[in-house]
Each structure stands twice: as C-alpha cells, then as structure tokens.
Chain A
Amino acid sequence: MVILRAGLCPGLTAEMIQLLKANSIATVVDLVSSDLEEVARKCSLSYKALVAVRRVLLAQFSAFPVNGADLYEELKSSTAILSTGSRSLDRLLDSGLYTGEVTELTGAPGSGKTQVCLSIAMSTSHDLKQNVLYVDSTGGFTASRLLQLAQTRTGDEEEQVEALQRIQVARVFDVYKMLDVLQELRCSVSQQVLSSLGPVKVLVVDSVSAVICPLLGGRQAEGLALMMQLARELKTLARELSMAVVVTNHVTRDGSSGHLKPALGRSWSFVPSTRVLLESREGTWGKASTRRIASLTKSSRQPTGIEVELDIGSCGVLEESPAASGEGC
C-alpha cells in the first residue's frame, strides 16, 4: 500500500494528489482499483492524464510472471550447494545447504543444535573459505569450542586464525536488535560496502525462538507480526543475496499428545524449506553419549523420515563409519 506522492511517476503532480485525497484516494491501490471515469468527474481531472498515470503505476508496482524455464536457468546459475562438513548430514540435506533457502534445526535442550551450527560455521569458513555471520541470541556461542573444531581440521595456526576471522559474530538478545542486524546486513550488501571480509555466504541464527517466544501468545497479535517480519527478512536475505540461512528452534511439548514438536507454531513451520530434528538416544543420565540422531521432518527434495547418526564429540560433527566406532579423534 504505497502512498501517492508527487513525483512517483511523471504526470502525478501535487495538485492532483490533493484532489484525489479529498476524494479519499490516498494510495496506489486505491487509484488503480477505482473507476477512472468517476474519479475524473469528481475531481475534475483529465481522464487521459489519469489513464496515463495508472498505466505507469501498474508498470512500476505490479509483479511480472516469469517463465518456468527462465526461472530454472536462473536458479541453476545462482544457487550454490554448501557442504556442511559432515557427510551424513550432507546426505540428509541432499548434498548440503542450498543458498536461497532457510534450513531449520530443532531439538530438545542438549541435543546438539549449537554444536551443529558451530560445525557448519567452521566448515564453511575453513573448508570452503567463505564468510559466515553467526547471530547468537542464547549466549551459547563459545569461541574456544570453535577453536577446538578448527584445530581438528588443521594443525596450522595461521589457517586456524584465518578461519576464525572469517566468522563474524553478532550477539543480540531481543527481536528488534535481531531485525537491526539483519537489516544492516542487507544494507551493507546492497550498498556494496566493501568490508574487509567480503560477501557473507552462510547466515546462522541461533536461536530464533529465544527472541520470539517471549512475544507469542496472549491476546496481542504483535508477536506473530514480528515473527513474520523476521521470517520475511530471513527469506529475503536468502533469496536476494544468495545466502544459505540456518536457524535453530526449540521444541515444546504438545498439549494433547505429549509428543515433542518444534516451537513457534504452525505459522513458522511454513518458513523453512527443510527441517531437521536432532535427538539423543534414549538413555538415563548415567550414560553420557555424544551420539545424536538427525531426522528429516520436512524437505522439498527428499522423502521425510530419513535418519542419520551424528557424533558431536570433540571431533566436531563427523560421520559414523560403520566399520570403525567413530573414535580416533
């Protein structure tokens, strides 16, 4: 709903706008959807001028359909698939993280979401030599753990330092600051501000539910509105700036069935294109284990229900080799 302003298109003068406003036509939508003959009569404006203005406005503001083949070609040339560093996780995600899409990791506390995020950040930074922006809203980001992951990948200190430098960290604890950071990322890329690092390829948001949960519920719909705003920012960043976006989400207990389900409700469930659930093996507290099971709960490319095993131990997220026991770190 864009307001009519002078100079929005040639032929739209300030006097025209005043006359239109007097007849309660204030936005582009109002003008385009009204009967121009009536308007010309009521506002005593020229019919031809109004038709010309409408044509220009339609051309400016409407969306154009794209041919499917063109869309496919465009996607082929602009999408990249970034490996997560773990072969089994890549298998789950259909060979890795796709740019232009939002991938979500959910799981109970202690299931390893932050570990997987750190591992993805480190492998993008070190193996693929791309920049990463890590937005932390829970305080779970530990740089020393990142150093450990770097040390298992290379023994060379210079490379470790370089890998750490390519990861930028922003610590935000409420939703407005998070929107700030995302907006600023978009501005800096669109204005082509050359930071010392270069374009960001992977955006990790850990976690999105920590900032949204305090706002949801109750009688106000404001929480939902902010959640959708955040979703829109993430999707815009993913698609327009060709980034791969990874978000983490909490789980809550379903009231009726008692099962665990991802938090933030059904509206959020349409936002990520791929959802992975992390669980630890059933066991009592006595047995400490670093094995986790990752299952695909939503994907546009693979059948859901695929499960792989991950080891989030000191080696980072490595695959479980069936022959060896996954040790040897």
Chain B
Amino acid sequence: MQRDVGSFPLAPGLRAKLIGAGFQTAQELLEIGPCELSKEIGISKEEALETLQIVRRECNSNATKTAGDPEAVGKCTALELLAQEQAQGFIITFCSALDDILGGGVQLTKITEICGAPGVGKTQLCMQLAVDVQIPECFGGLAGEAVFIDTEGSFMVDRVVDIATACVQHCQLIAETHQEEDFQKSLETFSFESILSHIYYFRCHDYTELLAQIYLLPDFLSEHSKVRLVIVDGIAFPFRHDFEDLSLRTRLLNGLAQQLISIANAHKLAVVLTNQMTTRIGQSQSMLVPALGESWGHAATIRLIFHWDNKQRLATLYKSPSQKESTVPFHITHTP
C-alpha cells in the first residue's frame, strides 16, 4: 500500500507529527506497532492505536476493492446508471408546463434550487411537492414521505390541507375513470390526514440549527427509509443577516451542499432548496440575481428562477444537466 500518509482523514496536528518523524507511506505506518509509534512521535498510546486503526481500515478496504468487484467502490458503468435512472420516478408538480421543462418533474438524487423574489410562489411549490411525493405508485407517484425544514416560518398548515384535499380529489377522479382494484385500495390509505402525518416538519431558527439538522439528517433517514424528498425552505435566510465572516459563510455553504448531495445520492431522494434574490449593480444596469454569491450557484444541480412579468409568473430553467434552458408561465390557484 503505497498510499501517502497525508491522504488519510487524520487530525492536522497528528498528520504534522507523522510527517515530521519521516513517515511517508501507509506501508511504513503499518509495520510498527502502537507503542513504538507513540514513542516515536510523542503521542499517547490511545491516539497511536486509533491512528493505526484508521490506516489499517482504509488500506484493508482498498485491498478488498482491488481484489473484488468494482461495485464495492461505488463505481459503476454508465450503462448501469442509465438503468437506475430510467427506473427512478419523478416528483410531479401538478403544473404540466413546469414538469415539461424539468423533464418530467423534480428528479431524485439531485439538488433542485428554486430562486425568486418574495411572493412569487416558492413556498407554495414546496408545499405542493411535499404532498405530491406521497401520491401512491399506481397513480404515477413515488409513495414516499417528505421532510420539511423551515427557516423562515412560512409553512402554513391550512394551505397544505387545501393542497392535500385537492390532490386526493384528483386521485379519486382518476380512480373513478379507471376502475381498477389497486386504485381503490391505495385510495383507502391516501387521505389528507395520512398526507399530513407523513410530512416531517423541522423548524430551525439560525444557521447553527440548520447545519446541525442537516448533519443529523442521515440518522433520521435511516430510521424513516420511505422519505423521498427533503425540502429546505429558505436556505438564504439564516446566512444573510448578521454574518460578518464571508469566507466562513462560503465554506459552511459549500460543506452543506456537499452533505446534501451525498444524502441525496445515498438515500435516493430529491433535495429542494429555496433561495432569495438580491440586486447586483452592474456597469449600466442593476439585475436581480440569486442570493448567497457565485460559489453557491455551483451547489445546486438544477436551478429554477421564478420571476414576474407584468402580473404573470414565469419560471425559467437556468441550469440543468439534461434539459435545455427555457421559460414557461405558471399560476397559483386555489385548487392546483
């Protein structure tokens, strides 16, 4: 194992001591025992034992990977990924124009970001998606649950009840026209109480709580394995006011984005974030751009921008790996 000592996840002070003592590759570390290691570099025996365990674990997993199948690494060919993608469903938004530009709906294993000025409909769409993810499979949904992390306090339960009731009615209409067994059966469990009970709501008041919530999310998700959607309504709000150190903000946001995408990938769910808009003053004019800066723009895989055009709401798909940029109009109605 010619792996360099610097590439193991060890504490920086420990790493500095190891390199200072002359250890370069994992091979050299594995050859000596913990007592000698602790004497050589002047750390306690427990730390030496831990270090050797980490190194041994990484090297062993490497050995089994090279000897065995490539699946263990998490590598797969594009063909297998294609099969996986085609078998995945989408979360429909109940607005066919929006679903069209998104390529069928909100995609799983990806982060979708919705930006827009206040009042344009971001939270409405989030609530709609939290209901839509629970549609039973026979109606074309995912039969999943939703996690709603609210930082702005804009989650209105009455509106969710409206949306849920309308959704149930819609499914009932479909069931009547099709008259199949499983449609009726799934309708029995699909009522607005069950919808509301499967939306897990968390309220975070500042960025520390938000970060903690997201880092604790994998444990929550391993208990509730049916969750297929994580919504963070208002990712900009806790990071925008009272934040003096901008480079710390960038680092935290980037770490957050990586954590979210790794959750989305590991648990096969969709992550939806909403963002605010800010004004950028260019040379000749000022434009509205999504908040949180340039580096945040790279965090989301798919970016939707909602804006107004003379009393008409428009949605623009600004960034997507598989769909073209386009703009469609949409409405927010009483019954979607």
Name the one of A26, A213, A216 contacting B21, with C-beta atoms under 8 angstroms: A26
Contact A217-B74, Cβ < 8 Å, known A138-B298, A140-B301, A285-B318: no
**B143-151, B171-179, B233-241, B257-265 - interface stretch:** B257-265
> Are B82 and A213 touching (Cβ within 8 A)?
no
Q: Given A179-B7, A285-B307, do A1 and B297 touch, yes or no (CB 8 Å)?
A: no
B22 touches A3 (CB 8 A): yes
Would B77 and A164 count as touching, CB distance under 8 A? Answer: yes
Contacting pair B254 A213 (CB below 8 A): yes
Contact A3 B298 (CB under 8 A): no
CA distance in complex: A169, B82 (Å): 11
Q: Are B305 and A285 in contact (CB under 8 A)?
A: yes
Measured between alpha carbons, how far is A274 from B8 in the docked complex, in Å?
29
Q: Which of A38-46, A76-84, A90-98, A142-150 contacts B (4 or more CB under 8 A)?
A: A142-150
> Is A75 an interface residue, CB under 8 A from the partner?
no
Known contacts: A3-B22, A168-B70, A229-B6. The answer to whether A144 contacts B78 by CB under 8 A is: no
Give the CA-CA distance A32 to B262 in the complex, in Å. Answer: 48
Measured CB to CB, the nearest residue on chain B to A284 is B287
Binds A, one of B189-197, B212-220, B221-229, B323-331: B323-331
Q: CB within 8 Å of B: which of A118-171?
A: 118, 121, 133-134, 137-148, 161, 164-171
Beta-carbon contact of B86 and A165 below 8 Å: no
Please measure, in the bound complex, the distance between the C-alpha atom of A233 and the C-alpha atom of B3, giving whole angstroms. Answer: 10
Question: Residue B122 at the A interface, CB < 8 A?
Answer: no
- Contact call A213/B324, Cβ cutoff below 8 A: no
Tell me which residues across on chain A come within 8 A of B325, comparing CB atoms.
110, 288-290
Residue B294 at the chain A interface, CB threshold 8 Å: yes
Which partner residue on chain B sits nearest A146 by CB separation? B78
Which residues 212-258 of A have a CB within 8 angstroms of B?
213-218, 220-222, 225-226, 229, 233, 250-253
> CB distance A176 to B298 under 8 Å?
no
Q: How far, in angstroms, from A147 to B303 measured CA to CA in the complex?
A: 22
Let me know if B35 is at the binding interface, CB within 8 A.
no
Question: Complex formed: what's the CA distance from A286 to B74 in Å?
Answer: 40
Interchain CB contact under 8 A, B78 and A165:
yes
**Which residue of chain A has the shortest Cβ distance to B1 in the bound complex?**
A187
With contacts A142-B322, A170-B73 known, is A214 near B255, CB below 8 A?
Answer: yes
Contacts of B300 in A (CB 8 A): 109
Residues on the B chain within 8 Å of A179, using CB: 7
Chain A residues, CB < 8 A from B251: 213-218
Is the pair B321, A114 in contact by a Cβ cutoff of 8 Å? yes
Q: B295–A115 contact, CB under 8 A? A: no
Given the complex, which residues of B lie within 8 Å of A314, measured CB to CB?
Answer: 324
Q: Least Cβ distance of A195 to chain B in Å?
A: 7
Determine whether the beta carbon of A3 is less than 8 Å from that of B28.
Answer: yes
B295, A263: Cβ atoms closer than 8 Å: yes
Report whether B297 and A139 are in contact in the complex, using a CB–CB cutoff of 8 Å. no
The residue on A at minimum CB distance from B281 is A258
C-alpha spacing A324/B2, complex, angstroms: 54
Q: Is there a chain A Cβ closer than 8 Å to B100's Cβ?
A: no
CA distance A143 to B109 in the complex (A): 12
Using known A-B contacts A188-B66, A193-B66, determine if residue A165 contacts B19 with beta carbons closer than 8 Å: no
- Interface presence of B293 (CB below 8 A): yes
- Chain A: residues with Cβ within 8 Å of the partner, total of 80
Is there contact, CB below 8 Å, between B298 and A139? no
Q: Give the nearest-CB partner of B58 in chain A.
A: A180
Looking at A66-74, A203-211, A295-303, the stretch in contact with chain B turns out to be A203-211
Q: Decide yes or no whether B138 CB sits under 8 A from chain A.
A: no
The reply on B47 being an interface residue by CB < 8 A is: no
CB-defined contacts of A27 to chain B, threshold 8 Å: 22
Instruction: Answer yes or no: B209 CB below 8 A from chain A CBs.
Output: no
B62 at the interface (CB under 8 A from A): yes
Given known contacts A2-B24, A188-B66, A290-B325, A138 and B294 CB-to-CB distance under 8 angstroms: no
Contact partner of A169 among B24, B65, B81, B109, CB < 8 A?
B81
A174 within 8 A of B: yes
Chain B residues closer than 8 Å to A290, beta-carbon distance: 324-325
Residues of B within 8 A of A326 (CB): none
Chain A residue nearest to B8 in the complex (CB): A176
Are the CB atoms of A207 and B248 closer together than 8 Å?
no
Q: Of A147, A170, A209, which is within 8 A of B82 by CB? A: A147
A-contacting residues, B280-311, CB 8 Å: 293-295, 297-301, 303, 305, 307
CB neighbours of B326 from chain A (8 A): 288
Q: Are B73 and A229 in contact (CB under 8 A)?
A: no
Q: Establish whether residues B78 and A251, one from each chain, have CB atoms under 8 Å apart when the complex forms.
A: no
Interface residues of A (CB under 8 A from B): 1-3, 5, 26-27, 108-110, 114-115, 118, 121, 133-134, 137-148, 161, 164-174, 176, 179-181, 183-184, 187-188, 191, 193, 195, 207, 209-211, 213-218, 220-222, 225-226, 229, 233, 250-253, 260, 263, 285-286, 288-290, 313-314
In order of increasing CB-CB distance, the 6 nearest A-B pairs are A109-B297, A110-B319, A214-B255, A143-B82, A173-B262, A288-B325
Provide 26 A-B residue pairs closer than 8 Å at the C-beta atoms, listed in order of the A residue.
Answer: A26-B22, A109-B300, A110-B325, A139-B111, A139-B261, A140-B321, A143-B78, A143-B81, A164-B79, A167-B77, A167-B78, A170-B73, A187-B66, A195-B70, A213-B251, A214-B255, A216-B251, A217-B251, A218-B247, A218-B251, A250-B298, A252-B294, A253-B293, A285-B316, A288-B324, A288-B325
